[in-house]
């Protein structure tokens, strides 16, 4: 199979994990190349996600690297064996790759937690609300790209409709609930959609009110996606340059600590539903 020109974040992550195993074992690329009968350049390409590795060859490397965590190794084999195109691939070449990487990360996550301060969770947005967000970008996006981004965002909700729905917890600051992207009617419709989705068994929403005061995280949106094993957890934060993906343990620990703080500080699920309902009611009756 020819090398990839632009590996996805998930493909790069597989290569990173293989390199971590090799370096932890104190072994060289020449050693790995000898095991697989490849030249060292191809090992480097495998570890950068550019070149495909089969599950069988991955198992050979893992065993010879002395990896004793069978669950971790099995999870990596599953990643190596993935050949089916995800739904997000239909947007390849028309939307930034980072947006597709987010969808792929959510799709393969075992459990996800997010923190939102200015926008409501992307996986739980209505079309009109998402459109209002994308129309506010500077410089302005072409109409076609706005609609493509909206379509992509709506399809991300498939993680909740499949046979094994994603277990999801969203921490939402009161400021995000009161921001009127698209105006009063769009915001009210969006809040009612949040309430509807929060009734699902696998979706939990927790509100942080302004009375909570200062909070960690500097207001950054966070997506924490748990993998099949803790070593494969990934955090994603937004930046002006696009989504950033983190998997170093120190970075993950910081994100977990932030989300755990929000877990302790937020209203409980029932109180959160009541609070969202009150904000929506306020939109209904308050004068413009």
Whether residue 120 sits in one domain with residue 57: no
Whether residue 212 sits in one domain with residue 100: yes
Whether residue 232 sits in one domain with residue 95: yes
For 181, other C-beta atoms within 10 Å of its C-beta total 21
Q: How far apart are CA 131 and CA 283, in angstroms?
A: 20
Whether residue 19 sits in one domain with residue 70: yes
Mean pLDDT of the chain: 95
Quick one: which H or E segment has residue 173? strand 167-173
Whether residue 156 sits in one domain with residue 30: no
Helix (H, G, I), strand (E, B) or coil at 102: helix
- Is residue 114 within 8 A of residue 121, CB to CB? The reply is yes
pLDDT digits (tens, 9 = 90+) for 30-86: 999 999 999 999 999 999 999 999 999 999 999 999 999 999 999 999 999 998 899
Whether residue 249 sits in one domain with residue 131: yes
Q: Which residue has the tokens 């790995």?
A: 32
Q: What is the CATH number of the domain that holds 106?
A: 3.30.870
Whether residue 96 sits in one domain with residue 77: no
Structural domain includes residue 4: no
Q: Residue 168 phi/psi, 5° resolution?
A: -135, 135
Structural domain includes residue 275: yes
- Is residue 94 within 8 A of residue 148, CB to CB? The reply is yes
Helix (H, G, I), strand (E, B) or coil at 164: coil
Domain, as residue range, for 216: 88-285
Structural domain includes residue 232: yes
Whether residue 194 sits in one domain with residue 256: yes
Q: How far apart are CA 76 and CA 236, in angstroms?
A: 20
DSSP characters for 264-278?
A: HHSPPHHHHHHHHHH
* Confidence (pLDDT) at 36: 96
Quick one: which H or E segment has residue 9? helix 9-24
pLDDT grade, residue 288 (50/70/90)? Answer: very low
Q: How many domains does the chain have?
A: 2
Q: What percent of the chain has pLDDT over 90?
A: 92
pLDDT digits (tens, 9 = 90+) for 86-102: 999 999 999 999 999 99
pLDDT digits (tens, 9 = 90+) for 108-160: 999 999 999 999 999 999 999 999 999 999 999 999 999 999 999 999 999 99
């Amino acid at each position: 199979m020819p090398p990839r020109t632009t590996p996805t974040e998930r493909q790069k992550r597989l290569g990173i994990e293989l390199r971590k195993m090799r370096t932890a074992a104190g072994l060289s690329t020449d050693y790995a190349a000898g095991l697989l009968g490849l030249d060292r350049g191809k090992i480097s390409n495998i570890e950068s996600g550019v070149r495909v590795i089969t599950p069988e060859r991955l198992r050979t490397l893992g065993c010879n690297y002395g990896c004793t965590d069978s669950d971790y190794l099995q999870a990596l084999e599953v990643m190596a064996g993935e050949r089916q195109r995800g739904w997000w691939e239909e947007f390849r070449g028309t939307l930034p790759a980072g947006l597709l990487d987010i969808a792929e990360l959510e799709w393969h996550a075992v459990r996800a937690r997010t923190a939102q301060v200015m926008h409501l969770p992307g996986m739980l947005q209505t079309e009109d609300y998402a459109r209002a967000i994308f129309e506010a970008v500077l410089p302005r996006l072409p109409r076609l790209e706005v609609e493509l981004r909206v379509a992509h965002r709506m399809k991300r909700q498939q993680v909740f409709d499949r046979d094994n729905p994603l277990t999801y917890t969203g921490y939402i600051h009161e400021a995000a609930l009161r921001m009127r992207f698209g105006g009063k009617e769009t915001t009210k419709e969006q809040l009612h959609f949040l309430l509807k989705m929060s009734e699902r068994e696998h979706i939990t929403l927790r509100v942080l009110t302004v009375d909570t005061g200062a909070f960690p995280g500097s207001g950054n949106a966070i997506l924490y996606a748990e993998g099949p094993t803790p070593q494969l957890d990934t955090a994603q934060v937004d930046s002006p340059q696009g989504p950033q993906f983190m998997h170093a343990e120190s970075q993950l620990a910081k994100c977990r600590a932030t989300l755990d703080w929000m877990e302790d500080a937020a209203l409980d699920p029932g109180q959160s539903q009541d609070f969202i309902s009150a904000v929506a009611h306020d939109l209904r009756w308050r004068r413009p």
